[in-house]
Chains A and B, each alone.
Chain A
Amino acid sequence: MKYLHLAWAGLMRRKTRTVLTILSVLAAFLLFGLLDGVRAAFNAGGTLAGVDRMVVSSRFSIIQPLPESLITRVQATPGVRKLTWANWFGGYYQEPKNQLIIFAVAPGYFDVYQDYGVTASQLDAFKRSRTGVLVGAALANRFGWKVGDKLPVMGSIFPNKATGETTWAFDIVGIYQAPNAKSRALEQQVMLHWKYFDEANAYGSGNVGWIVVQVADPGSSAKVAQAIDALSANSDHETKTQTEQDFNLSFAKQIGDIGLIVTAIIGAVFFTLMLLTGNTMAQAVRERIPELATLKTLGFTDRSVLVLVFLESVLLIVIGGVLGMALASVLTPIVSAASGGMLELPPIGPASWAVGLALMVAVGAIVGVLPALRAMRLRIVDALAGR
């Protein structure tokens, strides 16, 4: 570590270049910090232990419906306290760019999901209207909807049995407000009656998209999940009971392998970073050849000079990297809060920091290797003579 000030002095020789390079490294590790949690979330499975709500869906695909008859059997499973169910109903408002998140939900849905903040009067109005929908406040504000408005929706898949077309008309009977910032994403949804959807859609009735189960004892969630999945084992509608997080991730994975996409983005960023910082380090060493030759003259061995250049390279990346990840740690909750819960970035945990630090050292070593070898191989007399 006694060479640290020499490495620092080397970096400070061209302050502007060093600051710009550190900013590039910072940007790369900021991105890494923000995205690594997403990557980890998509690549790692969740655990059922300790969760009180689980989602039962088709084992094969979340777009595969389950029979309505399964509901009563799941309800009877020991350990299940409450359940509800829902179907996805995609559609848009006026123009395809105004895509809506619409769910057809069972009567007890808001008993299980109290996070929506639906009031008793809103729920009462919802129950009394067959074509009624509850919409989130954020969505209502966006489109200027108010209670009593008709809501025409162009459905993505399901045709209306009555018209044969995918145009549906709903009545807005309530606008709910999520009780806290964390569940603000729920305000982007439209909730309609599952019964109405089930009866009115032209693709047949008696199906549910998924069942949401609330367990009596979160400690026994894994066992309850096993028991539920056993109900439909070896049938044509085998189920998979999983955490809500995993279920949501499965939904997102319909777009593609998000984990792979994120990994590819991070990989491209780091490849570019290596080219950039490699060039900076090569330039820095080239400019300091007489200084490195002086160090060798004074008795620094080839190995010491090699270590010094490596140290400088790693220091450059670690400074930028730590700043980037620290900034990511600060920004993660801010971005999540600002998105109103639409974007739930996981906090940067010790695992991400460990991977990040390992990456910093690896990138530093890789970009430092050629300049360090060049410095090590310097012939003193040639370098001092400017040859």
Chain B
Amino acid sequence: MSALVEIRDVSKAYTRGRQSVEVLHHISLDIRQGDFLALMGPSGSGKTTLLNLIGGLDSPTSGSIAVGGRRIDALGGSALAKWRAANVGFIFQFYNLLPMLTAQKNVEVPLLLTKLSAAQRKRNAAIALSLVNLADRAQHKPNELSGGQQQRVAIARAIISDPTLLVCDEPTGDLDRQSAEEVLGLLQLLNREHGKTIIMVTHDPKAAGHASHTLHLEKGTLVEAAI
């Protein structure tokens, strides 16, 4: 299979006060379409930074990142936002749902950026919620749902625009084992049945066990490339 994500000699430095701290050093990596990749490593190793770069939330200091053949490191703010909306689904550790909206409205949010009508948005959200087995909780607000249910709503939101790539930052980090298993099973399903390419940052080896590949980062460098 061809590489969906091509990372070439990427470095990322942050400026803190007068100091510049490089958190990623000359990373090169290919991630194939349909992969389920786990990124592991100790805190501060640069996992989330790499994930943010792949998801187009941040830009590398040097090097290049191409997703689906498109150089995203060269895109400006607005173009990058549009690219994210069309190509990437995000799943966070703390779900990041909008507290005042129902599950259905939360799932619909990415579709506000499309030209779909309100009825179409509602229909698509209902399908996405069915896929994560939460059709009966569509009208519940986040605070009326368990952590596992909230994360499943977040997954429904991530897939509603049918993105190629799902980036997950510690998706089970705030969940009990059973909920974590449900969420990981769902991600596996999306990977195997729906062909989504998934990149997941995790500290949990059990969670990483659900991925097809695991990469380790230490001090901003890939120490083990299992691809």
Binding site for B on A (CB under 8 A): 2-3, 5-6, 9-10, 12-13, 290-291, 294-304, 380-381, 384
> Across the interface, do A381 and B58 meet the contact criterion of CB distance under 8 Å?
yes
Q: Give the residues in chain B near A13, CB-CB below 8 Å.
A: 99-100
B85-93, B125-133, B173-181 - interface stretch = B85-93
* Interface SS of A by simple majority: helix
* Interface SS of B by simple majority: helix
> Across the interface, do A299 and B57 meet the contact criterion of CB distance under 8 Å?
no
Q: Which residue of A lies closest to B53 (CB)?
A: A381
> Across the interface, do A297 and B90 meet the contact criterion of CB distance under 8 Å?
yes
B3-11, B37-45, B76-84 - interface stretch = B76-84
Distance A380 CA – B55 CA, assembled complex (angstroms): 11
B 19-61 contacts with A by CB, 8 A: 52, 55, 57-58
> Across the interface, do A299 and B92 meet the contact criterion of CB distance under 8 Å?
no
Given contacts A9-B101, A291-B98, contact A380 B58 (CB under 8 A): yes
Distance A294 CA – B78 CA, assembled complex (angstroms): 15
Q: Which residue of B lies closest to A12 (CB)?
A: B100
B75 proximal to A (CB < 8 A): no
> Across the interface, do A300 and B98 meet the contact criterion of CB distance under 8 Å?
no
Bitwise interface map of B from 135 to 152 toward A, beta carbon under 8 Å scored 1, else 0: 000000000000000000
Q: Give the residues in chain A near B118, CB-CB below 8 Å.
A: 2
Distance A303 CA – B81 CA, assembled complex (angstroms): 11
> Across the interface, do A299 and B113 meet the contact criterion of CB distance under 8 Å?
yes
B 94-128 contacts with A by CB, 8 A: 96, 98-101, 105, 109-110, 112-113, 118
> Across the interface, do A299 and B98 meet the contact criterion of CB distance under 8 Å?
no
Known contacts A2-B112, A301-B77; can you find 7 more A-B pairs with CB under 8 A?
A: A3-B112, A5-B105, A295-B109, A298-B85, A299-B85, A299-B110, A384-B57
Distance A5 CA – B109 CA, assembled complex (angstroms): 10
Give the Cβ gap from B100 to chain A, nearest Cβ, in Å.
4
Q: Give the residues in chain A near B157, CB-CB below 8 Å.
A: 298
Give the Cβ gap from A385 to chain B, nearest Cβ, in Å.
8
> Across the interface, do B98 and A294 meet the contact criterion of CB distance under 8 Å?
yes
Q: Which residue of B lies closest to A379 (CB)?
A: B58
> Across the interface, do B92 and A384 meet the contact criterion of CB distance under 8 Å?
yes
Nearest first, the 9 closest Cβ-Cβ pairs linking A and B are: A299-B85, A9-B100, A294-B96, A301-B81, A299-B84, A301-B78, A380-B57, A381-B58, A298-B110
Q: Which residue of B lies closest to A2 (CB)?
A: B112
A-B contact pairs, 21 of them (CB 8 A): A2-B112, A5-B101, A12-B100, A290-B96, A291-B99, A294-B98, A295-B109, A297-B84, A298-B90, A299-B84, A299-B85, A300-B81, A300-B85, A301-B78, A301-B81, A302-B77, A302-B78, A380-B52, A380-B57, A380-B58, A384-B92
Q: Which residue of B lies closest to A10 (CB)?
A: B100
Task: From A3, A10, A298, name the one whose CB has the most chain B CB atoms within 10 angstroms.
Answer: A298
Give the Cβ gap from A246 to chain B, nearest Cβ, in Å.
54
Q: Give the residues in chain B near A301, CB-CB below 8 Å.
A: 77-78, 81-82
Q: Give the residues in chain B near A300, CB-CB below 8 Å.
A: 81, 85, 113
Distance A303 CA – B99 CA, assembled complex (angstroms): 23
Which of B78, B105, B109 is in CB contact (< 8 Å) with A303? B78
Q: Give the residues in chain A near B105, CB-CB below 8 Å.
A: 5, 9
Give the Cβ gap from B14 to chain A, nearest Cβ, in Å.
9
Q: Which residue of A lies closest to B121 (CB)?
A: A2
Q: Give the residues in chain B near A298, CB-CB below 8 Å.
A: 84-85, 90, 109-110, 113, 157
Give the Cβ gap from B79 to chain A, nearest Cβ, in Å.
9
Q: Which residue of B lies closest to A8 (CB)?
A: B100
Distance A299 CA – B160 CA, assembled complex (angstroms): 13
Q: Give the residues in chain B near A299, CB-CB below 8 Å.
A: 81-82, 84-86, 110, 113
Given contacts A10-B100, A294-B98, contact A381 B57 (CB under 8 A): yes
Give the Cβ gap from A152 to chain B, nearest Cβ, in Å.
70
Give the Cβ gap from A305 to chain B, nearest Cβ, in Å.
10
Give the Cβ gap from A1 to chain B, nearest Cβ, in Å.
10
